[in-house]
């Protein structure tokens, strides 16, 4: 009987990077269909393997802020909504790219948060009995205080009815 090795949801078929894979939960422009998803599938930046959908166990304020209409999860647990997003396993190269791309640690800080798995990709469980995973998330604690007064969302869509269209990095002045 063949036995399966499964580390952080990465199966034997792609264990070449298993020592350095990290779980990342994305809730903003890095999600499928959003303006920066292209970076997640650019193998020149490293590897990102989609693992499923999730939502934050804690509530947080998700706002769209600044002149470029950037989505930010404010690091204020207990305020706002459970935030919907996607769970990826990423290698060290992609994690390094994402840190730089997200302006970490100035704009966002990457911290571990508990994520409830909503829908898992493919067969097999998460490796956690209760379906809750610790994932890295880019949220911010370095925001202007007035952002707390902006509308809070429970999921992000750049073309949502809020009408605040995201300005790509390459289009900013
Ligand atoms: N990019 C990161 C943080 C917010 C954003 O637009 C993400 O999608 O999770």
Q: Is the pLDDT of residue 53 over 50?
A: yes
pLDDT digits (tens, 9 = 90+) for 59-72: 999 999 999 999 99
Q: Is 102 a residue of the active site?
A: yes
Distance from first CA to last CA of the chain, Å, rounded? 60
Q: Is the pTM of this model over 0.75?
A: yes
For residues 39 and 101, what is the distance between their CA atoms, to the nearest angstrom? 9
Determine the atom of ligand 1 nearest the C-alpha atom of 24: 9
The pLDDT value recorded for residue 1 is: 44
Runs of H (alpha helix) within 24-137: 37-40, 92-101
Ligand 1 mean position, distance from CA 3 (Å):
37
Outline where DSSP puts E strands in 19-105: 22-26, 48-56, 62-65, 70-73, 84-90
Alpha-helical runs (H) found in the chain = 37-40, 92-101
Testing ligand 1's pocket by substitution, the residue of 36, 38, 54, 71 carrying the most ligand atoms inside 8 A of its CB is 71
Please give the number of the atom of ligand 1 that sits closest to the Cα of 31. Answer: 8
Asked if residue 14 has pLDDT above 60, the reply is no
More confident: 87 or 13: 87
pLDDT tens for each residue of 124-154: 665 555 599 999 999 999 999 999 999 999 9
Q: Which residues pair with 136 in a beta bridge?
A: 24, 112
Instruction: State the Cα–Cα distance between residues 28 and 70, nearest whole angstrom.
Output: 8
């Amino acid at each position: 009987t063949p036995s399966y090795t499964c580390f952080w949801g990465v199966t034997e078929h792609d264990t070449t990077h298993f020592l350095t894979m990290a779980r990342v939960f994305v809730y903003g422009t890095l999600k499928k269909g959003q303006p920066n998803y292209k970076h997640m599938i650019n193998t020149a930046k490293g590897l990102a393997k989609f693992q499923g959908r999730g939502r934050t166990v804690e509530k947080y304020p998700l706002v769209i802020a600044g002149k470029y209409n950037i989505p930010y999860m404010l690091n204020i647990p207990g305020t706002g909504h459970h935030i919907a997003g996607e769970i990826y396993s990423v290698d060290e190269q992609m994690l390094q790219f994402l840190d730089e791309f997200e302006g970490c640690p100035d704009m966002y800080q990457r911290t571990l948060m508990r994520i409830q798995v909503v829908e898992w990709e493919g067969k097999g469980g998460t490796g956690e009995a209760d379906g809750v995973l610790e994932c890295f998330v880019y949220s911010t604690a370095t925001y202007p205080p007035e952002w707390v007064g902006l509308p809070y969302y429970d999921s992000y869509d750049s073309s949502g009815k809020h009408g605040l269209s995201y300005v790509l990095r390459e289009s900013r002045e």
